[in-house]
Each structure stands twice: as C-alpha cells, then as structure tokens.
Amino acid sequence: MRIGHISDLHILELDKPRPLKFLNKRLVGGLNLLLKRSNAHSSKVVERAIEHLDDHDVDHIVISGDLTNLALDSEFAAARTVVDGLRGGPDRVSIVPGNHDYYTPGAARNGRFERHFQPYLKSDLPRYQLDEGYPFCHLRDDVAIIGLNSGIATPWLFATGRVGPDELRAAERLLDDPEVQRRFKIVVVHHPLLPDEHHSIQFNRRLLNAAEVLEMVRRKDVDLVLHGHNHYFSVLQVPKLGSPGTTYICEAGSTSVAMGGDPMMSGKFNIYTVEDGHLRQVESHLFESHEAGFLPWKSEVFRRTIAED
Ligand SMILES: [Fe+2]
Ligand SMILES: [Fe+2]
C-alpha cells in the first residue's frame, strides 16, 4: 500500500472577506499573511502535487491540517475544491484540521472545518467518534488511519494545539478495537509530537499535551504518526512501549510553497510504502518549478528485521 502525504496547504482566498471579519486576531494575522504569504502558497502547486501523486500510484492520501489561513468560509470553499480534485473522492482521502483551520473562536465554535469537510470525516468505526467528529477511522486494506484534532482557537501570536482528554480516551479505545489492532496503524495529527533536527518545540507553537499523546501512541502500538505544522520534512523513530518495534513520526512539509530549488522552503510531499504490516520506505518529493513540477528529493528505506523473518 502506498500512502501520499500532503500538508499545510494554506489556500489563500481573500476575494470577498468582509472587513469586520478582520477585527481582533485576524487584523494581525490577516495583514501578516497578506504581506508574507500571498505569493508563497499556491493552489496551482497543490494541483501539480496531486498530478504527481496520481502518477506514482498512491492508494490513499493523508492531509495533515492547515488547509486555510484565517479559517474563512471562502478559504474553506477554495480548499474543498482543491481536495475534491483528488482521484477517488472521500474514500481515498483522510484529512485533519490544523491551528489555522481553528483560527478564531467563531471558526472553532461553529465547527467550520468539519462543516466544509464533513464527507471526508466519515468513520468506519463511528462508535468511537465524539460529536465533534474525532477520532475518525478509515480502514483500507491492511491499514487503519486514525484522525485526531489538535486545533484550538488561540490568543494572538500563538499557534498551540491540544488533543482534548475525551478525544484521547476515545482514541485509546479505538486503537484497542480488533479491526484496528490487526492492521498497520497510522495516526494523523497536525502538531508535532517531538522536536526534529531543524525545529525545537517553541512555547507558542507547541502541542500542549504532546507528551501525553506521544505516550499513548507508543503504548497503543501505533506504527506511524503523520503531522504537519513545521513546514519541513522529517522522519523520527521512537521505540514502542510494551511491544517490540518502532513508531515512526513523519512530516511531509508544506506542499503548496511555490518557491523551487530550496529544500528548506520548497513545496514538498511524502509517499510511504507499507508492506507486510511494516513501513518500508519514505520518499520526499520537492517542488522544482511550474514547468517541471515536483522531483524526487530524498528517500529512506527501512529493511526487514530479523524478528520479521
Ligand atoms: Fe502550517
Ligand atoms: Fe500549523
């Protein structure tokens, strides 16, 4: 099974934002975005990534949050159009929200992300799903994909997140379900659980209960955690707790960045190969130009272990 991972699309759609909507946090965030992001993130780059994912025969696609910037209805509608362009529709796509999709208390309170992406949040094991829509579970062949929500409305200049206690307990029960246990388990959550080689965990950008979520995924035999937020590629490995094996924690980077040729900045996506219940390969692809599209950048291969043989 091959799984594509795109993230942090930050689709900018400011055609008709009503001026009042920019009061409060949006005044700062909106102006900042207009200045910094108007040329950086492009839905055209995401469309090229989708073409490449189709060329590379991926079976399923994961999107790990921050589809919008200001959580405006107009941005969600534009992001939904892009996501609907993925081959196979909701059966083939799993999406969780990021902090930008919960940018204001109103967007969080009204469940704006969930309203716009409702068909994509349908769970194959709905008895574990809370009213807000999480955790959801997509069972596809020998893989179970569990979506968590770490989006919360935050004060100015904060991009923190939290997986709520009820949701975390529901996720534990879901991970104990025999339909999940017998599969390769992937958890998708927007915020990173650990620092990587380029990013420390910043106080104002962190997952507030990262230690608790990390302990849970290691204890519950999760094989792969996919996240976004740092806009950079990373592959981390931590030992599982209570059973042999490794929990891999991977980030794809922001897929929509229209700048080419700079591994730190350029648009990126990942492809994971899962075989016989194990992660075999992580491939990163980097945006080169609108003409060339994305090119393979780096690949990590994980060999069979003696225990598997
Ligand atoms: Fe982001
Ligand atoms: Fe984020």
- How far does residue 179's CA lie from ligand 2's centre (Å)? 31
Predicted pLDDT at 215: 98
| Sequence ranges of the domains in the chain | 2-301
pTM of the predicted model as reported, rounded to 2 decimal places:
0.94
176 CA distance to ligand 2 centroid (A)? 29
How far away, in angstroms, is 65 Cα from ligand 2 center? Answer: 7
State the pLDDT at residue 21.
Answer: 57
Res 155: pLDDT: 87
Task: Give the per-residue pLDDT at 261.
Answer: 81
> How far is the C-alpha of 300 from the C-alpha of 168, rounded, in Å?
31
Q: What is the CATH number of domain 2-301?
A: 3.60.21.10
What's the pLDDT at 199? 81
Kindly identify the ligand whose nearest atom is closest to the C-alpha of 99.
2
Write the burial class of residue 221 (CB in 10 Å: 0-12 exposed, 13-18 middle, 19+ buried).
middle
Ligand 2 center–CA 102 separation, angstroms? 10
Q: Give distance in angstroms: CA of 57 to centre of ligand 2.
A: 28
Query: Could you tell me which of 92, 60, 91, 65 has the C-alpha nearest to residue 79?
Result: 65
What separation, in Å, do the N-terminal and C-terminal C-alpha atoms of the chain show? 20
Radius of gyration of the chain (CA): 18
The alpha carbon of 64 and the centre of ligand 1 are apart by a number of angstroms equal to 9
If one counts every other C-beta atom within 10 angstroms of the C-beta of residue 172, the result is 15
Cα(149) to ligand 2 centroid in Å equals 12
Q: Which ligand is nearest to the CA of 103?
A: 2
Local mean pLDDT, 10-residue blocks, the chain (309 residues) = 97 64 60 63 92 92 96 94 92 97 94 97 98 97 98 92 98 98 98 89 92 98 97 96 94 94 91 96 96 94 71
Q: 225 CA to middle of ligand 2, Å?
A: 16
217 CA → ligand 2 middle, Å: 21
CA distances from 232 to 51, 153, 273, 287 (A): 21, 23, 20, 13
> DSSP states of 204-228 as a string?
TTSBTTHHHHHHHHHHTT--EEEE-
Per-chain residues with Cβ under 5 A from ion ligand 1: 8, 66
